[in-house]
Amino acid sequence: MDNLFVLLIFVLVLAIFLGFELINKVPSTLHTPLMSGANAISGITIVGALISSGSDGGLWTTLLGTAAVFFATVNVVGGYLVTNRMLGMFKKK
C-alpha cells in the first residue's frame, strides 16, 4: 500500500510538470478550446464512477456511482463534442 502510494505520488508530480510543459506554448487563440478540451479530460473520473456504479458495494454506492456516471458522461461527451465544434471553426484562408 505504502509503496503504491509513493509510486502514485511520483506519477502525480511528473504529470503536473509534464502538464506545465505541454500547455505553456499554447497560443491565446486556442485558449477556449484548450480549456474545454482539458475540461473534457477531467471527466476521466468517469472510470471511478463506472466502478462505483457497477460493483456490488451496496445501494448507496450504486446510486451515488450512477449519479457520478451521469455527470461525468455529460462532462466527457459534451466537452469533447463542443471542443470539436469550436475547433472546426478555426480556419485559415
Partner 1 sequence: MMEILQSEIFANLSYIFASMLFIFGLKQLGSPETAQRGNLISSSGMLLAVLVTLVNNQIISYEWLAIGLILGILVGATAASLVKMTSMPELVALFNGFGGIASLLVGSAEYLGTGSLGLISLTAIFLTLIIGGVTFSGSLVAYGKLSEILPGRQITFTGQRVVLIIFFFIALTLGAHLIFNFSLSGWSPVYSFLLLIFFALVIGLLITLPIGGADMPVIIALLNSYSGLAASAAGFVINNNVLIVAGALVGASGLILTNIMCKAMNRSLANVVFGSISSTASSNINAEDVGEIKPINISDAYLILEAANSVLVVPGYGMAVSQAQHAVRELGELLEENGCEVNYAIHPVAGRMPGHMNVLLAEANVSYDQLQEPDDVNPVMDTIDVCIVIGANDVVNPDAKENEGSPIYGMPIIEADRSKTVFILKRSMAAGFAGIDNPLFGKENSRMLFGDAKESISGLVAEFKS
Residues 7-66 touching partner 1, rule: CB under 8 A, are: 8, 11-12, 15-20, 22-58, 60-66
Q: Phi and psi of 81, rounded to 5°?
A: -65, -45
| Grid cell digits, residue 21 | 510543459
- Does residue 4 touch partner 1 according to CB under 8 A? yes
- Does residue 90 touch partner 1 according to CB under 8 A? yes
Torsion angle in degrees (nearest 10) through CA of 72, 77, 78, 82: 140
Please tell me the count of residues contacting partner 1 according to CB under 8 A: 83
- Does residue 88 touch partner 1 according to CB under 8 A? yes
Count of CB atoms within 10 A of residue 49's CB? Answer: 21
For the CB of residue 59, give the shortest distance to partner 1 in the complex, in Å.
9
